Amino acid sequence: MAGTRKVTVSTDAHGHTAGWSEAPSAPATTVPPDPTAAAFFDVDNTMMQGASIYWFARGLAARKYFTTGDLARFAWQQARFRLLATEHAGDMSQAKEAALAFVQGWRVDDIERLADEIFDELMAPRIWAGTRRLAQRHLDAGERVWLVSAAPVEIGRVIAARLGLTGAIGTVAEVVDGAYTGRLVGDLMHGPAKAEAVTQLAAVEGLDLDRCAAYSDSANDLPMLSAVGRAVAVNPDPALLRQAREQGWDVRDFRTGRRAVRIAVPSTAAAGLVAGAVTAGLALHRRRHREA
């Protein structure tokens, strides 16, 4: 998979930029394709228990890219953010700045290689089987299935490929000569940006949004859920659960017992916080490498 980055970037009439990337190989199916229907799945706490960028960071920590102390501080911060249930503009700004610092200087093939390894080690055991079955139903019906995540689109694409899905919509970082420049193309894939990206993808791919479905755990994704004909709340937070009941949306909760009361991590807060910790660790790793 390394070195095969193919990201489609689209900008609409309002200047909103979105990016998506298909998985390296299309899902095998004997069902005739349905060209106008698709399903869009949030990743963090919807398809996977926890935040994908957090598990990616765990894998980096295991490889000595940064310390376990950095990871512990992030774990405490993410719990605090969820308890406060706040994602203010300042937090979003910090998340974007951290994302910029996180990717700067990294090669695309290194990110994809590490994500591929870390998926097997830490992400695969945390895929919600119930959500995976929901995605498979769409594939079995000949529909395309896209992941939608605030994580870098390369990480989303690796997850989509390993799950046999169509591809991923995610945050896009600028790449020059195979390496990240530290600048984003568009904004962090969060909140309204997800709905805009889904709408742009539908226009390019000829999808009928009224025939499409979207799945998420968070009220932050209400714009995306409202953009399609069928919205499903998966492992919903309290705000989304209230909205789903008011709108008559389907609710699927795959958490049981103690899992059901665990506090999940908001994807944007996770992306910003972990990127900050990873950034410091990567800087230290690069400095040690130069001194060695």
What is the spatial distance between Cα 292 and Cα 278, in angstroms, rounded to a whole number? 21
Is 110 an annotated catalytic residue?
no
Residue in 12, 42, 116, 187 annotated catalytic: 42
DSSP conformation class of 164: T
Residues in the chain: 292
What is the spatial distance between Cα 58 and Cα 140, in angstroms, rounded to a whole number? 33
The 3 state secondary structure assigned to 232-288 is EEECCCHHHHHHHHHHCCEEECCCCHHHHHCCCCCHHHHHHHHHHHHHHHHHHHHHH
* 115 membership: H or E segment, kind and range: helix 108-118
Please check whether residue 103 is in contact with residue 180, taking contact to mean a CB–CB distance below 8 angstroms: yes
Is 44 an annotated catalytic residue?
yes
Q: Name the residue among 281, 264, 231 with its Cα closest to residue 61.
A: 281
What is the spatial distance between Cα 194 and Cα 238, in angstroms, rounded to a whole number? 20
> Could you please report the per-residue DSSP string of 168-207?
EEEEEEEEETTEEEEEEES--S-THHHHHHHHHHHHHHT-
Q: Name the residue among 221, 220, 224, 187 with its Cα closest to residue 202.
A: 224
Residue in 44, 70, 187, 237 annotated catalytic: 44
Six-digit token pair at 251?
A: 């609710």
- Could you list the active site residues? 42, 44
